[in-house]
Structure 1
Amino acid sequence: MSTVALRQACFSDNQYEHNAFQKCFSNLLGIGFKRFAVDVYWNPLRTEWSLCPVEQPGSDTDNEQDSVVSGSTVVVSAATASAKIPESTPLQPGGFALGRRQAMSETSSAVSTTAISSSSSLSSGQSTSEAVKPTITSFPTTSGPPLMQIGSYNCTSLMTLGLLTGLLADFMDATDTTTGASLTLLILNLHAASSLSDPDGPALLLSQDQLPQSGTLLSDILKGNLSEDTYTPSRLQDQRANLNSSWYDVDWNNRPAEGYYEASPDANGRLATIDGWPSEAFMEFQEFYRIVASFGTVDPQMQYYNIGSDFDYVFPPGTLTKVVETSIESDGQVSSGCLFAPSENTLTSGTNSSWAMSVPSSLEVGANPDLMSPILSIANLTSCGLSPFLNQSLANTTADKNPLPYAAYVHSSLWSWAPGEPLNVTSDATKNRCVAMTISPYPGRWSVTDCADRYRVACQDPSQPYNWQISSDSTDYEGAASACPSSYQFSVPHTALENAHLLAALQAHRQSVPTDDAILVDLNQLSVADCWVVGINGTCPYLSRTDTDQTRIVVVPTVAAVIIFVLAALTFFVKCAANRREDKRGRKRRMVGGWEYEGVPS
């Protein structure tokens, strides 16, 4: 599950303009990023959660220090969705050098230190004197509110958390009945906005009276657009307390994967768990949830904000992240921190890749990369069971101006299909409708195969997901389930780490049978072309084009089918077939300050 910091991917040039952000965020969603680190700033002057790092004057402010002058009209380019604004705020004699706002390195004692923040630390002394009164320049635009130049930042008033949730909610609607439906995770890093009088210095400690009150809490803003789509902590707690009436009260292929959690009977004899999570199939296809939100870091300036008041809707810090420190060599090899060890196939707390993530070293990616050639460091981190966290801009550009480097990053984190796969299905009943893992030319990657072809079989111990064996006999897909030894099941890897252990088992097997360079894995499209499911009787949750219910007609892109039905990368969520809801929930269009989002470009 690829992770990206919006600060670096969309705002590395300190421009916070709503048209550019719309395009940037839409591109990142369309490319396939599933986990977002979002820096949100509380602006006490406007009493709102903003994406802009500096306070913006309130619409009715008459504060004398808020000296606002007019600039020339800015025309936002339709091609790049960006506006070039000159830095007109002068440096004061003996003052400070203009630079990006940085968050202080310490975190509140109530905040987990394992969460990743996309801000870096600020050196002491980068503060303006009290006499400095930076000029705020208002640049009228031809689309939306004016662009305000405040210190080294360019922001519009629409750049709020509500804008992001509105865009995300419309993306949920647009992908509601397609294979683009998948989980999106939000990691929210809380900051106080820098003062208007010192826009490039550290923010001030906010008093209780300056902080959000009921109606403007972080959870209140998220609920405004995402209430129907969000899986909440209270929902998880209720389901964990009674598995028989929740996760186990569904078909087998919607249940969470065994081995990643412990379940035991409570005092009333009901099965319960303290560490389990539902499968993604259960969350999406059974309960129709698409969003999970968690706190990341909280700045000391926000220490009096009670994040506990949001815990009924937002998960505590560190819930969706398990940071692993790694070292990467110049050739892209991971020299330390890798979770994969071929001789250790027992799942432990140290080798559990659920939520595991790591920040790669500086990446050199061209403006027009070859999407078929992976970035080695990203591919190797993924094979190690770690979700690469993109905390830098690529090719010196943001994703609204050029999304290709960011697409190359996501493609490099794919671990299942070999480049160019899966091939198109044929009219033959079995040809190109099953899947084999191969040794060459792409070790451990998958290719389509004729279901009648005979191979040895990938067999997994369901209680130990990293424990794989290769069957002693060769068989076609129809007979694969009976080819595995006792206590093992014909299966398919659900995570990159499971895939790495299966490859290790195949390579060890080849030492005794050198001619075996491929094995069957439990994945097929026997029911519907391009809809990959587990099990010989697996049912595609999407109807074909001939169905008369037009709300459920789906064009199934090959890549999307891979993502949805094969893997939930680097988490233990398992994509399985299930029935999809027949009708989408009605929802009003998202409006943010009179501006309406109209969809996500492909």
Structure 2
Amino acid sequence: MSLYDPDPAAIPVGTPFIRQLSQRDLSLQIPVDHVPKPGVALTPACFAHRAYEDASASKCFSNLLATGFDRIEADLFWDGTRDVWSLCPVQLGNVAVDNPTARNRHVRERRGNDRLGKRQASTSLSMLQPSGHRHTTTPLPTLVSISTTLTLGTATGSTAPTASAPPGAGTLIQVGPYSCTTTVDLQLLTGIISGHLGSTQFNTNATLKFLVLNLHAAAPASDPTGSGAAPANPDLLSNILNSQVSDYLYTPSDLARERADLNATGSWFGGLRTYQSNPAYYDITQTGDVYSTPDGWPGESFVELGLAKRLFTSYGRVDPQLSAYNFSGDASTIFGANYLQKTPPVTIDSNGQVGSGCFFDPGVYSVSRVNDSWATAVTTLDPTNSQTISLHVGNLTDCGISPLLNQTLNGQTADENPELYIQYARSTIWSWGPGEPHNATDGQGFQAHDYRCAVLNATSGFWATENCGRSYRSACRRPDAVYEWSISNAPAQYMNAQITCPAGTDFDAPRTALENTYLLHTLQQTLAQTGLTGVNDELLWVNFNDLDIPQCWVTGVNATCPYVNKHSGSQEIIVPTIAAVVVFVLAFLTILVKCAANRQQSKRRRRRGDDGWDYEGVPS
């Protein structure tokens, strides 16, 4: 039995699914440190009521993962009385639970999840079975009312009591303001993550996840709101991670090895074209025939499709009491403190406008002067105002910054009411406007052969579907200048957009929110300079279409859809709203490519010169 069990409402279907999938595909070859991802801190999102219980924690974690929160920040507390990394802030001691049924249930679930989480060396593909109903937002019953509660004495040296629990129910232990079960710990968290990664490994809901671990010392039961003492020899976090999610981990050792020899066989620089990470975002040095980088990162295409990895982990904040922790013991598995996130100074007003810290800088195009990798900012929101949430989150994303939710929305956790959390995550969609992309066959008056191409709207700043036969000007840029755009002088139909671009530029589409912000500025500036004010002048072709198969958006006029219905062989993309099976063909092809790579030696590739870089985001 998998511990991953989200509400149906948390799983994107229909248009939200297409929006998320197509935007992920756009950025597949952008280094992962330059792609903003929505983040969430688990403590306020799941434990706002100070109740740390298995069922609600599992539902909360599952909802956040399914919704699209790709950056998860978890507070871990070393409980020396039980030798465990717990999510509960207080030591629980050796509490004897006279309920073998409940105790053994957790053991069986853990072991069962371990088996499910381990991927077999097989070419069989996992299936996605979507639900046909939506979640209602009726608050859950109070946790204590449905669980046996134990209260620890506060006197020093008091003996932890023993109590019986009803069969199949968890046992909450009340310690001061906290109520915790003994099994809400790092293994529960990684078990849920493993279940999520396993259930999405071979379908189009697959994305990279980033887990940041804040390390604390659990407070003693005699002073549950106080500070914990320096622990002696806490267990290595890497041992737990490797036992639960090792197959999915992309590690510091992986990164160091690949950075040292970029043109090695199967690398993210000199390997397959669809796995190549755009080198415009990082520095490259050459020693003899060997290319290396001090600061480069692979793109999601290489990590997810080339290596079948899905998870990065790092330390976040570390309490002084944990300063003696054996970090070197984890060095090959866990990235260093704040290695996967930086917090540049950012100000944002009550209207959601970013006052300072935005990486958009008009007229400045050099990546090193524009952007900062892993940039993250904590949002401060009116949790009852959905419009405020969208503005804050959207504007930070447009500035090239990953928004991090560090508060409880509307007083409800993500298991009680996932709707606001869903909106938060979906507000990081920077490409498509509300309701877009329209399904060409959705019965809203769109002709299937017409509305299959994307335009940028100069007023809204978002993309929309448009009739490919109409004539608009085109988005163009040099292959080696990710932020420097130009607008074609003449309008043309989508199929002829390339020939209208200035010499040395290509018809293209933004791959990140910040790239889109630069394109929008260039378009608005061009309109102001030329005095063009017509409705058609505000629309600009971007190189994105679903001409091959409806709802499957790709870059390139003649690009083909990488997703097919394997079982029926029909030439249309199958999404959760219209079918029960979604097959991620690229994952299957990855297995074949790896086998072929073992039989032949890849050609070495050197960075191009004057003609720059072939910028491809979507496999075709």
TM-score by length of 2: 0.74
2:552 is the counterpart of 1:538: no
Give the counterpart of 1:157 among 175, 179, 182. 182
CA distance in 2, matches of 1:78, 1:583: 43
**Aligned counterpart, 1:526:** 547
Match of 1:74? none
1:489 CA drift (Å) = 2.4
| Aligned 8 A contact 1:136 1:148 in 2 | no
1:31–1:407 contact (8 Å) kept in structure 2: yes
State how far apart, in whole Å, the 2-side matches of 1:305 and 1:34 are.
27
Find the partner of 2:243 among 187, 208, 224.
Answer: 224
Identity percentage of aligned residues:
37
Q: CA deviation at 1:528?
A: 2.5
2: CA distance between counterparts of 1:439 and 1:134? Answer: 68
Distance 1:194 1:135 in 2: 16
| Structure 2 Cα separation of the partners of residues 580 and 187 of structure 1 | 26
Q: Is 1:188 matched up with 2:213?
A: yes
**Distance verdict in 2 for CA 1:139–1:480, change over 3 Å:** farther
1:26 correspondence with 2:41? no
- Alpha-carbon distance between aligned partners in 2 of 1:392 and 1:140, rounded to the nearest angstrom: 33
> Where in structure 2 are there 5+ consecutive unaligned residues?
1-36, 98-136, 593-620
Q: Deviation at 1:140?
A: 3.1
Whether 1:383 and 2:398 are equivalent positions in the alignment is yes
Secondary structure of 1:538's match?
coil
Q: Return the offset for 1:156.
A: 0.7
Among 75, 85, 90, the residue aligned to 1:39: 75
Aligned to 1:569: none
Alpha-carbon distance change, 7 to 50 in structure 1, aligned in 2, over 3 angstroms: same
C-alpha contact (below 8 Å) 1:139/1:148 kept by paired residues: no
Aligned length: 501
Report the equivalent of 1:203: 228
2:77/2:87 contact within 8 Å kept: yes
Which residue of structure 1 lines up, in the alignment, with residue 375 of structure 2? Answer: 356
Deviation at 1:10, TM superposition (A): 0.2
Change (3 A) 1:483 1:332: same
In the alignment, the residues of structure 1 paired with residue 347 and residue 82 of structure 2 have an alpha-carbon distance, to the nearest angstrom, of 43
Corresponding residue for 2:312?
292
Aligned to 1:581: 588
**Equivalent residue of 2:423, what SS?**
helix
What is the CA distance between 1:420 and its match in structure 2? 0.5
SS of the counterpart of 1:259?
A: helix
**1:477 and 1:520 in contact (8 A); partners too:** yes
What do residues 384-411 of structure 1 show as CA deviations (whole Å, max 9, x unaligned)? Answer: 2221111111101111101111112122
User: Contact (CA 8 Å) 2:96, 2:163: kept in 1 or not?
Assistant: no
In the alignment, structure 1 residue 255 sits paired with structure 2 residue 276: yes
Amino acid at match of 1:355: W
Does structure 2 retain, via aligned residues, the 8 Å contact 1:339–1:385? yes
> CA shift at 1:498, angstroms?
0.9
Alpha-carbon distance change, 492 to 251 in structure 1, aligned in 2, over 3 angstroms: farther
2:261–2:291 CA contact under 8 A, matched in 1: yes
- CA–CA distance in structure 2, aligned partners of residues 446 and 460 of structure 1: 18
**In structure 2, distance between residues paired with 1:205 and 1:54:** 14
Partner of 1:109: none
CA distance in 2, matches of 1:558, 1:326: 39
Counterpart of 2:44 in structure 1: which amino acid?
Q
Q: Secondary structure at the match of 2:553?
A: coil
**Contact map agreement 1:417 1:446 (CA 8 A) in 2:** yes
Partner of 2:365: 345
Deviates more, 1:472-481 or 1:427-436: 427-436
Q: Is 1:316 aligned with 2:336?
A: yes
CA distance in 2, matches of 1:528, 1:323: 41
* Distance in 2 (alpha carbons) for counterparts of 1:317 and 1:16: 26
Q: Taking structure 1 as reference, are residues 88 and 557 closer, same or farther at Cα in structure 2, changes over 3 Å only?
A: closer
Alpha carbons of structure 1 residues 251 and 524: separation in structure 2 relative to 1, 3 Å: farther
CA–CA separation in structure 2 for the residues paired with 1:272 and 1:182: 27
Q: Contact 1:141/1:147 (CA < 8 Å) preserved in 2? A: no
User: Counterpart amino acid of 2:422?
Assistant: A
- Note the alpha carbon deviations across 1:182-217, whole angstroms, 9 max, x for none: 0011011111111222222101112xxx223xxx41
The Cα of 1:543 is off from its aligned counterpart by: 1.9
Where does structure 1 lack aligned partners over 5 or more consecutive residues? 62-76, 93-129, 565-576, 586-602
Q: Does the C-alpha gap of structure 1 residues 21 and 225 become closer, same or farther in structure 2, counting only changes over 3 Å?
A: same
What's the CA shift for 1:357? 1.1
Structure 2 CA distance for aligned equivalents of residues 424 and 189 of structure 1? 43
For residue 482 of structure 1, give the secondary structure of its aligned residue in structure 2.
Answer: helix
> Are positions 1:4 and 2:40 aligned together?
yes
Is 2:501 aligned against 1:501?
A: no
Is 2:99 the counterpart of 1:80?
no
TM superposition shift of 1:44 = 1.6
Amino acid in structure 1 at the alignment position of 2:144: K
- For 1:425 and 1:491, locate their aligned partners in 2 and report how far apart those are by CA, in whole Å: 22
Contact 2:53–2:172 (8 Å) recurs in 1: yes
Specify which of 52, 55, 63 is matched with residue 16 of structure 1.
52
Query: 2 CA distance for matches of 1:534 and 1:542?
Result: 14
2:433 to 415, 418, 421: 418
2:33 aligned residue: none
Q: Compute the TM-score of the two structures, normalised by the length of structure 1.
A: 0.76
* Cα contact 1:20–1:81 (8 A) shared by 2: no
Distance between the aligned counterparts of 2:268 and 2:44, measured in 1?
A: 38
- Alignment partners' CA distance in 2, 1:151 and 1:134: 16
- Distance in 2, matches of 1:140 and 1:60, equals 11
User: 1:477: how far off?
Assistant: 2.5
Match of 1:275 in 2: 295
Alignment match, 2:252: 233
Moved more, 50-59 or 275-284: 50-59
Which residue is equivalent to 1:489?
Answer: 506
What displacement does 1:135 show?
A: 7.5
TM-superposed deviation, 1:546? 4.8
Relative distance call for 1:42 and 1:423 in structure 2 (3 A) is same
Specify whether residues 523 and 415 from structure 1 end up closer, same or farther in structure 2 by C-alpha distance, changes over 3 A only. same
Kindly report the root-mean-square deviation, in angstroms, between the aligned alpha carbons of the 2 structures: 3.2
Deviations 1:22-81 (A, max 9, x none): 1101111121111011111111222121111111223579xxxxxxxxxxxxxxx99727
Assess, with a 3 A threshold, how the Cα gap between structure 1 residues 276 and 473 changes in structure 2: closer, same or farther: same
1:459 shift after superposition? 1.3
Quote the residue 2:450 is aligned against. 431
Report the AA paired with residue 333 of structure 1: Q
Relative distance call for 1:273 and 1:482 in structure 2 (3 A) is farther
Structure (1 or 2) with the greater helix fraction: 2
- CA positional deviation for 1:254: 2.9
CA distance in 2, matches of 1:540, 1:211: 52
Matched residues in 1 for 2:181 and 2:548: separation?
50
User: How far does the alpha carbon of each residue in 1:283-310 deviate from its partner, in whole angstroms, 9 at most, with x for none?
Assistant: 1111111111111111111111111211
Farther off after superposition, 516-525 or 486-495: 486-495
**Rounded Cα–Cα distance in structure 1 between residues aligned with 2:301 and 2:379:** 30
Task: Confirm whether residue 477 of structure 1 aligns to residue 494 of structure 2.
Answer: yes
Structure 2: distance between partners of 1:230 and 1:388: 23
More off after superposition, 393-402 vs 187-196: 187-196
Decide whether the 8 Å contact of 1:139 with 1:147 is kept in 2.
no
